Amino acid sequence: MPIVFLSPSTQEFNPYITPDKNEEMVMNLLAERMEPYLRSSGISYVRNDPVRNVAGAIADSNAGRFDVHLALHSNAAPAQFAGMLRGIDIYFAPQSYDSELLATITANNLQRIYPLSDNVLARPTTNLGEVLRTRAVAILCELGYHDNEEDAHWLQQNLELIAQNLVLSLTDYFGLPFITATAPKPGRVCTDGSRLNLRDYPSLSGKILTQIPDGTELVLNGETDGWYVTSYDGKTGYASGEFICDP
Averaged pLDDT score across all residues of the chain: 96
pLDDT digits (tens, 9 = 90+) for 2-47: 999 999 999 988 899 988 999 999 999 999 999 999 999 999 999 9
pTM of the model: 0.94
The mean pLDDT value for 97-105 works out to 98
Give the model's confidence band at 188: pLDDT under 50 very low, under 70 low, under 90 confident, else very high.
very high
SS3 track for the chain: CCEEEEEECCCCCCECCCCCCEHHHHHHHHHHHHHHHHHHCCCEEEECCCCCCHHHHHHHHHHCCCCEEEEEEEECCCHHHCCCCCCEEEEECCCCHHHHHHHHHHHHHHCCCCCCHHHEEEEECCCCHHHHCCCCEEEEEEEEECCCHHHHHHHHHCHHHHHHHHHHHHHHHHCCCCCCCCCCEEEEECCCCCCEEEECCCCCCCCEEEEECCCCEEEECEEECCEEEEEECCEEEEEEHHHEECC
Q: Is residue 182 pLDDT above 90, yes or no?
A: no
Domain regions of the chain by residue span: 3-174, 185-245
Q: CATH number of the domain at 185-245, please?
A: 2.30.30.40
**Residue 178, pLDDT score:** 97
Looking at domain 3-174, its CATH class is: alpha beta
> In the predicted model, is pLDDT for residue 49 greater than 90?
yes
Mean pLDDT score, 180-189: 94
**What tens digit of pLDDT does each residue of 133-167 get?**
999 999 999 999 999 999 999 999 999 999 999 99
